[in-house]
Amino acid sequence: MADSFGPMRDEDVGDGVVGMGPEAGSPRKEPIRVLVVDDHALFRRGLEIVLAAEEDIQVVGEAGDGAEAVEKAADLLPDIILMDVRMPKRGGIEACTSIKEVAPSAKIIMLTISDEEADLYDAIKAGATGYLLKEISTDEVATAIRAVADGQSQISPSMASKLLTEFKSMIQRTDERRLVPAPRLTDRELEVLKLVATGMNNRDIAKELFISENTVKNHVRNILEKLQLHSRMEAVVYAMREKILEIR
* Cβ contact 205:192 at 8 Å: yes
The SS3 call for residue 63 is: strand
Those residues of the chain that have pLDDT short of 50 are: 1-15, 22-26, 174-180, 248
The CA distance from 76 to 27, in Å, is: 22
Q: What is the DSSP string of 65-134?
A: SHHHHHHHHHHH--SEEEE-SS-SSS-HHHHHHHHHHH-TT-EEEEEES---HHHHHHHHHHT-SEEEET
Question: Do residues 111 and 128 make contact, with C-beta atoms less than 8 angstroms apart?
Answer: no
CB-based contacts of 101: which residues, under 8 Å, 6+ apart? none
User: Phi and psi at residue 120, in whole multiples of 5°?
Assistant: -60, -50
Do 132 and 156 form a contact (C-beta atoms < 8 A)?
A: yes
pLDDT attached to residue 16: 54
Q: Topology of 174-241 in CATH?
A: Arc Repressor Mutant, subunit A (1.10.10)
Looking at residue 177, its pLDDT comes to 43
**Start-end of CATH 1.10.10.10 domains in the chain:** 174-241
Rounded CA-CA distance 159/139 in Å is 19
pLDDT tens figures, 132-188: 888 888 888 999 999 899 888 788 776 776 666 666 565 555 444 444 455 788 889
Which residue intervals of the chain bear CATH 3.40.50.2300? 10-156
Q: State how far the Cα of 130 lies from the Cα of 148, in Å rounded to an integer.
A: 7
E strand or H helix that includes residue 60: strand 57-63
Fold of 10-156: Rossmann fold (3.40.50)
> Residue 83 in contact with residue 113, Cβ under 8 Å?
no
Distance CA 120, CA 132 (A): 9
Distance CA 109, CA 233 (A): 14
For the question of whether the overall pTM of this predicted structure is more than 0.85, the answer is no
Beta bridge partners of 131: 110, 155
